[in-house]
Homo-oligomer: A and B are copies of this chain.
Amino acid sequence: MPMVEVKIKAGRTIEQKREIALRMTEVLVEVCGSARDRVHVIITEVGEDNWGRGGRLLSDIG
C-alpha cells in the first residue's frame, strides 16, 4: 500500500537508487508492517535549474 516519492537532485547512480528503494521499503515493512510487495518507491530526479531554495535556483547557488 504505502507509496513513497523521493525528490532528489538529478545525477544519482543506479546503485544509489537500488539502495534508496530497498532501504525505504524496509523502513515501512519494519515500522508499519506493510506487505513488502505492496510498497512502491518512486524516485524523481530534479535538475538544478528546476529546484529553488531560498529564492535561488540550485544551479545559481552552485
- Where the two chains meet, the residues of A that have a C-beta atom closer than 8 Å to any C-beta of B are 1-9, 12, 14, 16-29, 31-32, 34, 36-46, 49-60
On chain B, the residues within 8 Å of A31 by CB distance are 16, 19-20, 23
Asked if A40 and B52 make an inter-chain contact with CB atoms under 8 angstroms apart, the answer reads yes
- Report the bound CA distance from A29 to B48 in whole Å: 19
Q: Known A25-B55, A39-B55, A55-B25; judge A49-B17 contact (CB<8 A).
A: yes
Are B1 and A53 in touch, CB under 8 angstroms? Answer: yes
Are A36 and B57 in contact, with the CB atoms below 8 A? Answer: no
- Could you tell me if A3 and B50 are in contact, using CB atoms closer than 8 angstroms? no
Q: Is the CB of B18 within 8 A of A60?
A: yes
